Structures are given as C-alpha cells and as structure tokens.
Chains A and B, each alone.
Chain A
Amino acid sequence: MTIRLVLQRALLAGISVASIYFGVQNLRRAMAIGSLGSDPVTQWELRFQPVKKLLPFKRGVIGYITNSDVPGAHYDANNEQGEYTLTQYTMAPIILVRGDQPDWTLANLNSKAFQIWSQANRGQFRVIPLNDNLYLLHRLAP
C-alpha cells in the first residue's frame, strides 16, 4: 500500500467524520433557534389583527410612527427597525410609510411616548386605542 493510498483513505475517512460531526453541530444550531410553538413572527401577527379589521381599505398606504418619532421618548434603534419590518410583513398588502402624513396612521408607542405625542398633536387625530401599545390614528379634516 503506497503512502498516497494511505493519505487518500485517511482524507476520505476524515471528510466523512467531519461531515457527520459538523452535521450534528448544524442540527444543534437549528435547535437553538427560538423555541417550538412560540414563533415571534406569528405572535406579532396576532397583535396586529385588530388594526387590519378597523382600516376601511384592504390595499393602500398608511403612516407608521413609533417612539423614535416622538421627541423626548426613549427607544431602541435595533428594535424599532425590526418591529417596522415585521409590521410591514404583517400588514401586507397595506404599505407602511414612516411618519403620520397619510389619513390613517398606525402608532406603536409605549404609554410615555403616547402621552408626549398626544399633547403635541391635540385635536389633529381621532385616536382609536388598541391592545398592547397600539393606536390607530385617523387624521381629522383641517
């Protein structure tokens, strides 16, 4: 048996063992993703069910504001971006645009931020409070 043959067999055995070992690691990595039965995207969808029912149209553009749009309110930039993308996914085929310019706006504000916002925008919107820090805002005619 030549050295090359020994090396070839050893390499094939090594590749096979490595493939199984890292296959197990990949499986463990997959099992570390979240947990079964509590997918955050599905939970987020449940939170927004009432909003879809209240909007008077199925497709169109609505505004979207969060704590970061309210001067003086605290926010986490990473969370804000994640929540915005999740909300767009949930609300499809409604298009979300940042800000409160459209006739209808979805506000995802904690109670402190909502307090600041409502003082600054008194009389400009009809506010429909929903569950879990969500508000649907309908701009009143000027």
Chain B
Amino acid sequence: MTLLSILVFSPSLLTGILIVHLLWPAGGWKVFWVKLFLGLGLGLGQASLLDFVYMLLFSSENGFLFVQLALSAGLLTAALVRARKDFPLALPRIQPSRLQIILMAGVILPAVLSALTAVNVWAREPHGAWDAWMMYNRAARFIYRDQAGWLGSFSRQMDPIFHADYPLQLGMDVAWAWQAVGQETQRVPIVLSGLFMLGCAGLLGASLNLVQGPGQASIALILLLGSALIGNEGASQRADLPLAYFFLGTAVSICLYVRSKERGLLILAGFMAGLAAWTKNEGSLFVLISLPALFIAFFRQQPWRVLGWYVLGLAFPLIVVLGFKGLLAPPSDVLSSGLNRSIQQVLDLSRHLTILRSFGADVFTFGGWGIGILPILLVYALIFKLAPAPDLRPAHVAIGLALSLQALGYYGIYLITPYDLQWHIVFSLGRLVAQLWVPFLFLFFTVVTDVERALAVK
C-alpha cells in the first residue's frame, strides 16, 4: 500500500516538474535539481486545486487520476517536442573539491537522523499530530467518505474548533489519492507529508547549490536537518511545513527571476504564493504582503510588469481560494472579535508586551538547539561576513520585506485574536516561526559569503 500511495502521486509530480520546465526552459544539472524540487510541490498543489474544481463538476465520479495522467502525458509531449532539437541534459563531470566533499558528507548523518525521526513519528502517530487529524485528515475524510455530498463538509453547523474554513490543499490531495487507490489508508497522508519534507529540504539545497554552490547548500541543509522542522514537524502531517515549502518556492522563484530575467519564473513565484494561500490562512496574508514587497523591490525595474507576470501565476490558485472562502467556507474564527473589541485589543499595551516578549523568546530559541539557531546565524554572519551580490539586490529586498511583513502580520493577528492571548501564542507561535525559517535560511545563505570562497581565500 505504501508503494501504491507513492505511485498515485507520480503523475501529479511529473506534471509539476514539466510545468516548471516549460515555464523555465534553462538547462544543466544544477537547474534540473531545482526544477525537480520546485515541480514536486507545484505538482501536489496543482492536483489539489484541480481536484477541487473536478469535485465541483463531477463529485460522483472517481476519475481524477485519469485527469492527472492525461495532463502529465500532454505536458510530456509538449516538453519532448520542444526538446527534440537539443536534448538539454548531458551527464556532468563532477569533480568536487575536498572541502565540498567534507561539507556534503556532513549532510548525510543529519539527513539519516531526520529520516529515522520521521519514520518513528509516522509509526507512532499514523493519523498525525492533533491538528493534522482534527483539521486536514478530518477534511479529507469528509470529502472522501461521501463524495456526492462533499459540499456538506463546510456546513455552518460544524463546531468552529474544527476549522472547516481552512484551505484544502492537504485535504483534497489526501481525498483524491484515497479515491484513486480505492481505500482510506493512512499511508497516503504519510506519503504526502514525506513528499513535502523531501521537497522542502531538496529545494533549499538545490536552489542554494545553483545560486551559490554546493558548500553553501550543505551548510544550510545541515542547519535545517538538525532542527526539528523536517523530521518531527514535517512528519506530523500538519500544514506548516507545506506552507514553509510554498514560501520557499516563491522566494526561490523570485531570486532565480532576478538572476535570469525569465518571466516564467515570476509566473511560478505567483503560483507558489497562491498555493501557500490554498494551504493555510497564513498563505493569504503572504499573498497580500508579497505584492507591495515585489513593487518596492522592483521599483526601478518596471514594477508593474513584474507584478503583472506574478499576478498571472497567482490568478488560478487565488480564484479557487476566493471561491472557496466566499462561497463554501464558514467564517474564520480568528477575525471574529468584531471591530470594537479588536480596536480595544490593539490599544492594550500589555498585549503588545506579551507578544513582543514571546516573539523575542521564540525567535531566539527556535530550533531546539538550546541557545537558538538565530543567534548562531548572527555569529556565522559576523565570522563569515555578509557579501550580497549586487545583481541579486531586488531578490534580497523582496524576500526580506515579504518575510518581515509576514512576521508583522502574525503580530497583528495575535493582537486581535478572539482567543486567550497566552494560549494562542503557546499553541501556535513556534509553528509560525517555523514557517518563515526555511525561506529565511535561503535568504541568509544567499547574502552571507559563500563558505567555499571564504575558506579558499586564505
């Protein structure tokens, strides 16, 4: 059943990789790995979006797998026709330096430990952590167990604690895969979480390998895999790691656009941001703040054109999200305080102090390394020095601004939350920081001096 659960996603993954390839035709092995890991999440995202549309039209039918097979076959044909003249991949001559070998070898043990951790979490909690079964796997069950009446899943009668208003990225993927394999097996959400874990680590490594080098990619991966985000949080089947993946996908696509000026990458960035909004409500905030961030970052480089391509990529997922939120989903509880109470809460100084203290504590202890990984990165930046490439400046500004505004947005949500503030912070802040952690690592290692250059100069 595990193999079948993996195979069932393969047409979607191929579709995602081919979409990335068609939008960004660059060649080479370093580019190939980025395409692979960008395509992985994009494939899962497009499948979830299309299944939502499919269910609206043909809720009694069980043929979504064939839609994915047809789509992947069509895209494969298009890619082969385009590649006929010049087949882009030739086997590389890899001659890594001694330093590169040492650094890449350093990734192996943390990767093995992360994999063992994930396997343990899956074996002991096959239904996932509390939020996973309460929200995402519950939503998948509501859709799968009564396909014809699936719209009843968003009934206003459902207790708000189950968050029937949450976007359906994970729920739809799990539900259609259950339909395709013909049974409700926990292997499906487990495989899905594994794919996002692989995608997140793979995309961070592959993109830094392309933008900087294998040494820089290795250090970032050693830091990522040593934190609890991949092995523990990723395997818990919650939506925070997939969300972090889509934030990272947006950041990587923007950075690669700045390097290559391929506008297809802006379409990809917009699509990735839209998929973030389809994954969690925090993703909708990300979509909102990414627009001014891009405008400011590209202020001297035709910002409207940049925004135009970005919005083109954003359009389809955003239409689905808005349709779901506007027509199906019950109201969100986070914004249920009402205007008067929200204003009172915003003016309450003690709430600001509580949130600031918690933000400070979480940011500086994040990662479970005792002293926190962020202070370690500060020391790293001091010792290795910052060396941002001038040509990547718009990407650094866009990603830095987006992450800062996103954190500010989280701050604002805590201010107006209808829940007990301390409870809400304890329950969620660690995961909010985790969402920003992976794209922050990408930003950090594109700004700091490349480790190979730093050690080679002496």
Which positions in A face B, CB cutoff 8 Å? 1-2, 4-5, 7-9, 11-12, 15-16, 18-20, 22-27, 29-31, 33-36, 39, 41-42, 58-59, 61, 84-86, 88-89, 92-93, 95-98
Contacts and interface: CB of A to CB of B under 8 A. Distances in A.
Contacts of B379: 11
Contact of A85 (B120, B162, B222): B162
Given A8-B455, A35-B124, A97 B157 contact: yes
Interface in B371-394: 376, 379-380, 383-384
B117 A30 contact: yes
Contacts of A36: 123-124
Contacts of B312: none
Contacts of B109: 19-20, 23
Most chain B CB neighbours (cut-off 10 Å) among A11, A20, A26 = A26
Interface stretch (B132-140, B249-257, B335-343): B132-140
Q: Is the interface of B mostly helix, strand, loop or mixed?
A: helix
Interface stretch (B65-73, B141-149, B349-357, B358-366): B141-149
Interface residues of B, number: 56
B263 interface: no
Given A19-B226, A26-B368, A93-B145, A31 B114 contact: no
B113 A24 contact: yes
A42 B126 CA distance: 9
B369 interface: yes
Contacts of A89: 127, 133-134, 137-138, 141
B59 interface: no
B125 A34 contact: yes
Given A11-B383, A30-B124, A93-B141, A85 B117 contact: no
Contact of A26 (B117, B145, B380, B455): B117
B445 to A, nearest CB: 12
B117 A27 contact: yes
Contacts of B367: 22
A2 B383 CA distance: 12
Given A15-B219, A93-B149, A29 B138 contact: no
B106 interface: yes
B421 to A, nearest CB: 19
A44 B414 CA distance: 34
27 contacts: A8-B455, A11-B380, A12-B103, A12-B451, A15-B219, A15-B226, A18-B226, A19-B109, A26-B227, A27-B117, A27-B120, A27-B231, A29-B232, A30-B120, A31-B120, A34-B124, A39-B126, A39-B127, A41-B126, A84-B159, A85-B130, A85-B134, A89-B138, A93-B146, A93-B149, A93-B153, A96-B159
B121 to A, nearest CB: 5
B232 A88 contact: no
Given A12-B451, A36-B123, A58-B145, A95 B117 contact: no
Given A11-B380, A59-B146, A88 B219 contact: no
A140 B340 CA distance: 45
B223 interface: yes
A16 B182 CA distance: 44
B454 A8 contact: yes
B231 A23 contact: yes
Interface in B146-197: 146, 149, 152-153, 155, 157-159, 161-162
Given A15-B222, A30-B120, A89-B133, A20 B113 contact: yes
Contacts of B125: 33-34, 39, 41
B116 interface: yes
Given A15-B219, A34-B124, A9 B455 contact: yes
Contacts of A41: 125-127, 133
A19 B124 contact: no
A77 to B, nearest CB: 13
A30 B451 contact: no
A26 to B, nearest CB: 5
B50 interface: no
A139 B125 CA distance: 37
A97 B159 contact: yes
A4, A34, A85, most chain B CB atoms within 10 A: A85
B448 to A, nearest CB: 11
B98 interface: no
Contacts of A20: 109-110, 113, 226
Given A33-B125, A39-B124, A58-B149, 19 more contacts: A8-B451, A8-B455, A12-B103, A18-B376, A19-B222, A20-B110, A23-B109, A23-B110, A26-B368, A27-B113, A27-B120, A33-B121, A34-B124, A35-B124, A59-B152, A89-B134, A92-B138, A93-B146, A93-B152
B146 A58 contact: yes
A15 B218 CA distance: 11
A1 B455 CA distance: 11
B228 interface: yes
Given A61-B157, A98-B159, A7 B149 contact: no
- 9 smallest A-B Cβ distances: which pairs? A19-B226, A23-B113, A92-B141, A30-B120, A41-B127, A30-B117, A33-B124, A93-B142, A5-B458
A140 to B, nearest CB: 23
